[in-house]
Amino acid sequence: MKDFIKNVFANIVAILLIGAVLLGIMIMIFVVSAMSGDQKPFVENNSVLTIDFKGNILDSYTEKEESIFDFGQNKDVLLLDVVNAINNAKKDEKIKGISIEVDNLPAGITQVDDIRAAIEDFKKSGKFVYAYGNNMSQGSYYLASVADKLYLNPVGMVELKGLSTEVTFLKDFAAKYGIGVDVIRHGKFKAAVEPFIRNDISPENKEQLSTLLNDIWGNISTKIKTSRKLDDATFKTAVDSLYGFMPELVVKNKLADQLLQKSEYENLIKKQLKLKSDEKINRISVNKYINALDEEESSDNKIAVLYAAGEIFNGDEYQNIHSEKYVKYIKDLAEDDDIKAVVLRVNSPGGSGNASDEILFELQQLKLKKPLVVSFGDYAASGGYYISMAADKIYSSPNTLTGSIGVFGMIMNFKDLANRNGIRSDIVSTNANSQVYSPLSGAAPGTIPILTRSVESTYKRFVYFVTQNRKKSFEQIDAIGGGRVWSGTRAKQLGLVDELGSLQQAINYAASKAKLKDYSLDSYPRKSSPLEEFFKQTEEDEIAARVISKKVGKENYELFQKITNPKLNNGVQMALPYQITIK
C-alpha cells in the first residue's frame, strides 16, 4: 500500500511538472512573439536593400511549416510582401540600390518571375542593382542575371544546365512485395498513375514533358540572354558544356562580369554609395525592410486575396486546401460587405475530385455577388485548374504548370504481400459487392467497373465546367485535355487562360472590375496563432510525419504518402502527376 501511494504521488508530481514545462513554453512563445512584434526596424539613409533570403518564399501561410521552437526566428516570407517591398524601395529615397546575394533560392519558378519583374521595374529608378554569388543554383542565377552587374567568387560556380525531370517507377517494387494496384484513368496524358503501371515514361507523357520543359526553359533562357546581352549560340554552348561550373569560363562567356572576393564586391557597393573604404554599408534585408514599412491603412473597400496553396483534400485542416475550411472562407467573403472583389491565388496540383467540386460550387456562388479573378502560381493543374472555372478572368505566369484536365482512380491492396507472410482473409457478405474494397482481398468484382463509370462521369463534368468558363465546345477542350499539362505560355495560346500576368496584375484588374480607386488588401486564410501551432505539432500523427519527412527527405516522403495516405489514394482524383523544381 505504501509503495502504491508513492507511485501515485510520483505520477501526480510528474504530470504537474510536464504541465508546468508546457505552460512555460507557451508563455515564452507569446512573450517572444510580442517582443519581436514591437521591434520595428529602422531604415537608415544611404541604405542598400539586400536580397538574401534565409527562409522560404511562400504564397500563403498555409504552406509554412511552423515550429514551436522558432521563437520568432523563422525567416519565411510571403511573395506579395517581397514584391511590395521592392516596389516601395523604388521610390524610397533612403534606398540607393539593391544587392542580390542568394546562392540557393528557396522559391518556385513563378515566384522568381514576379521578384525578377519587380527588380526589373526597380531599375527604371536609375538606382543600381548588383549581384554576387558563391555557388549559385540555377534559380538563383536566373534571379541574379537581372542585375546591372553580376559578380562571382573566384572559386565559385553557376549551376547552369537547363531543365530535366526524373520520374520514379514503382511497378516492379509493388510486384516484388505483393502490393496490388488497380488503376482507372481518363486521358492518355494523365500520367499520375504511370509509376504504378509502367517501368518507363510513356510516349504521351514524354511528349508533354518535353514540350513543357522546353516552354519553361525558353522563357527562362530568353530573359537571361536579354539581361546578359548574350546571343543564342553562345548561351546554348555555355549551358550544354556546363561552363558555369568553371569560374574562368563563366566570365569568358559573359555569364558574369568579374570574379571577385566578397570584400572586393562590397568595395564596389561602397563606391556606388560614395562611402570611404573604412565606412560601413547600411544594409537592410528584405525581411527587415518588409517589417519596417508602414502598415497600409485599412479601408472600407477591400480586395480579398484567397490563397489556395497545396493539395486539395476533404476535411477541416489548416495546411493545404481542405474543402470544409475553404467553403467557410468563401462563404465568409461572399457575405462580407466590405469585401468588394476576390482574387483567388491558385498554387495547387489538385487532389480530391469531390473536394474540388465543393470548392468550385461555392466560388460560383461568390461570383454571383462580386468579381472573382484568378491568379496562377507555380501550379494550377487538374483540381487546381478545376476550382478556377468560376473566374471572371484568369491570369497565369508564363511558367505556370496548368491544364491536366483529366481524372483517375487508384485502389491499392496488399493481398499478395499478406499471403506470402501467412495472412489470409475470407469474406461473408449479404450482397454481390458488399465488400467494395479490402486491403487484404482487393477490390470486389463490381468495384472497378463502377469506378470506371465514376471516372468517366467526373471527366465529363470537368470538361463541362471548362467549356462554360472558356466558352469552347466539348470537342475543343477534350482535344487539349486528356490529362495533358501545359505551360502558362501555351495555355494562353490555347485559350485555357485569359492573360499572362502576375498576382499584382490580377489584383489591379479586380480593383478595376469593382470600380475601386482606393482599397486595402486582406489575405486569407489568416495566419494561425502560436497556440494553435503548439497543439497541432504535439499531435501524434504530426510528430510522426515530421520525423519520417526529416529522415527520408521531403520528395521521398511525398512519394511515400502516395502509397500510404488514404486521402491521396481513395476516390476519384484530379491531381497533377509530378512537380518540377528549378534547381
69 — pLDDT class (breaks 50, 70, 90) = very low
pLDDT band at 87 (very low <50, low <70, confident <90, very high): very high
Q: Given 60, 382, 397, 404, which residue is catalytic?
A: 382
Tell me the DSSP string of 229-271: T--HHHHHHHHHTTGGGSHHHHHHTTSSSEE--HHHHHHHHHH
Distance CA 190, CA 403 (A): 11
Collapsing DSSP to helix, strand or coil, 497 comes out as coil
475 within 8 A of 202, measured Cβ to Cβ? no
Catalytic residue among 90, 190, 325, 370: 190
Which residue in this structure is represented by grid cell 460560383?
A: 364
β partners of residue 129: 98
Measured in degrees and rounded to the nearest 5, phi and psi for residue 21 equal: -65, -45
pTM for this predicted structure: 0.83
| Furthest-apart CA atoms within the chain: distance in Å | 89
Q: Of 51, 46, 41, give the one whose Cα is nearest residue 96.
A: 46
Q: Quickly tell me which residue has 553562345 as its cell.
A: 234
Weakest-pLDDT range from 112-121, 213-222, 429-438, 470-479: 429-438
Q: Is residue 30 pLDDT above 70, yes or no? A: no
pLDDT tens, residue by residue, 474-524: 999 999 998 899 999 999 999 999 999 999 999 999 999 999 999 999 999
pLDDT at 68 over 70: no
What's the mean per-residue pLDDT of the chain?
A: 85
What pLDDT shows up at residue 204? 87
Instruction: Count CB-CB contacts under 10 A for residue 177.
Output: 12
Catalytic site residue 471?
A: no
**Per-residue confidence at 10, pLDDT binned at 50, 70, 90?**
low
For residue 452, what pLDDT band results from cuts at 50, 70 and 90?
confident
**Cα distances (Å, whole numbers) of residue 185 to 456, 457, 548:** 8, 11, 30
Q: Supply 236's cell numbers.
A: 546554348
Average pLDDT, stretch 225-235? 97
Looking at residue 561, its pLDDT comes to 52
* Known catalytic residue at 190: yes
Give per-residue pLDDT as tens, 383-415.
Answer: 999 999 999 999 999 999 999 998 877 788 888
CB 506 within 8 A of CB 395: yes
> Confidence band (pLDDT; 50, 70, 90) for 332?
very high
Among left, alpha and beta (phi > 0; psi -120 to 50; other), residue 72 is left
Q: What proportion of the chain, given as a percentage, has pLDDT over 90? A: 59
Handedness of CA 284, 285, 291, 295 (dihedral sign): positive
Could you give the angle at which helices 232-240 and 203-228 cross, rounded to 10 degrees?
120
- Confidence at 326, pLDDT banded by 50, 70, 90: very high
Dist. CA 107–CA 59, nearest whole Å: 10
Backbone dihedral angles phi then psi of residue 161, each to the nearest 5 degrees: -145, 0
Strand order in the sheet with 312-313: 180-186, 407-413, 572-575, 350-352, 312-313, 321-322
Give the pLDDT of residue 412: 82
pLDDT at 168: 85
Rounded mean pLDDT, 162-179: 86
Torsion angle of C-alpha atoms 307, 311, 312, 317, degrees rounded to 10: -80
Q: What is the spatial distance between Cα 210 and Cα 485, in angstroms, rounded to a whole number?
A: 11
